[in-house]
Amino acid sequence: MIAAGFHDAGYMITAVVGLTIVTFVTRSLFFVLPASVRIPPAVERALRFAPACALAAIIAPTMFARQGHVFLSWHNNHLWALLAATAFFVWRRNLMWAMVVAMTVFTVLRLCF
Amino acid sequence: MRRIRHLLMPAIDRAALREGLRDMSHLAVAISVWGLVTGVAIVNRGMGIPMALFFSLTVFAGTAQLAALPLMAAGAPLAVVWVTATLVNLRFVIFSAASRPHFVHLTVPQRIWAGYLNGDLGFALFSRRFDGYDTTGTPEHYGYFFGTAYVNYFVWHVASVIGIILGDLAPTSWGLEIAATVAMIGVVVPMATRWPIVAGIVVTGVLSVLTLGMPMRLGIVVSVIAGIAVASVAETVAAR
């Protein structure tokens, strides 16, 4: 029952239509708003922080939790694969190779332990 | 066809268009990897192919799609799905504010269409190309903009459709969706340039795990707000 939401067509279509509107609105917001509207500096700062924080809120649970519970264990293959990939990416800044590192670590751990 | 083109696009300079096409083509491999990984992650998570195609071809925002994916899989409230995608997309609000002078001369449908196409790579190329220019909104600007935008659009969609098809063939036990998480990490790491934002990222990450038990996946929104607050306060302190 991991993907319960995917099997509800009404929910999915509404979600996707809403997400498409989100893309349109966020990307063209200041193209459409009148020129008199400006972003206050404090708000702009918060806007700059939001994407990184929102992504952290999605990434962290896939690393440190499983099925809604904290999962800190030697058997957490996702955690080790993603830590290795993060370290590699910070070092080399190459996304494709970071993906290869993650998949290699994950596959080795999955097959050997 | 011509009528649609004039509805959505202003007059463009051909040479600038070719230049934009060429510059974005150099990034085709990076765009393809992203599209491929996103497509694979969507079907590997259990979404059916028709819905996956509908999702990918309309939303056209890879990072927001990946962020929304686990929430939709869990059947999280629509408001939480939309708010999370909006938070991830807030960087585009800043992009649109930054390149506004070039696009205000267009008709409203043209502005909305240009905005929809204005992703991370296109914005970066456009800003670099016209850095130090005095003029705004010339056919040269629009030619370059749409040149980069259409390469990005085309390569992204072809790659994500291939990813959707391949993802359906690969067993979920291979853990291919991990590559999608790496893609998101690849967006966050370059943003972590100074310690206030690093503090915000760490606080959000820890809280997002600790608040997983909150009803309706509200923990995400709570932890992001807390992270932004921490980063903002940290920056104010750092600026003193």
Q: Is B201 on the interface with A (CB under 8 A)?
A: yes
**3-class DSSP assignment, residue A76:** coil
Q: Is B174 on the interface with A (CB under 8 A)?
A: yes
Q: Is the pLDDT of residue A4 over 80?
A: no
Chain A interface disruption, residue of B142, B153, B209, most A CBs within 10 A: B209
pLDDT tens for B164-193 read: 999 999 998 999 989 999 999 999 999 999
A residues 15-44 lying closer than 8 A (beta carbon) to B:
15-20, 22-24, 26-32, 35, 39, 42, 44
pLDDT tens for B35-65 read: 999 999 999 999 999 999 999 999 999 999 9
> Would the CB atoms of A9 and B213 count as touching at under 8 Å?
no
> Would the CB atoms of A57 and B224 count as touching at under 8 Å?
yes
The pLDDT assigned to A1 comes to 40
- Alpha carbons B59 and A22: distance in angstroms, whole number: 8
B216: exposed, middle or buried (C-beta count within 10 Å: 0-12, 13-18, 19+)? Answer: exposed
> Would the CB atoms of B182 and A28 count as touching at under 8 Å?
no
Q: Is the pLDDT of residue A3 over 90?
A: no
Provide the shortest C-alpha distance from residue A63 to chain B (in Å).
9
Cα dist. A66→A102, B109, B152 in Å? 18, 45, 35
- The candidate with the shortest Cα–Cα distance to B42, out of B131, B168, B210, is B168
Domain boundaries, chain B: 2-189, 192-240
Q: Is the pLDDT of residue A69 over 50?
A: yes
pTM over 0.90: yes
Mean pLDDT over B123-138 rounds to 92
Each residue of A68-99: b (16+ CB within 10 Å) or e? eeebeeeebbbbbbbebbbebbeeeeebbebb
> How many CA atoms within 13 Å lie on the side-chain side of B25?
8
ipTM of the complex model: 0.93
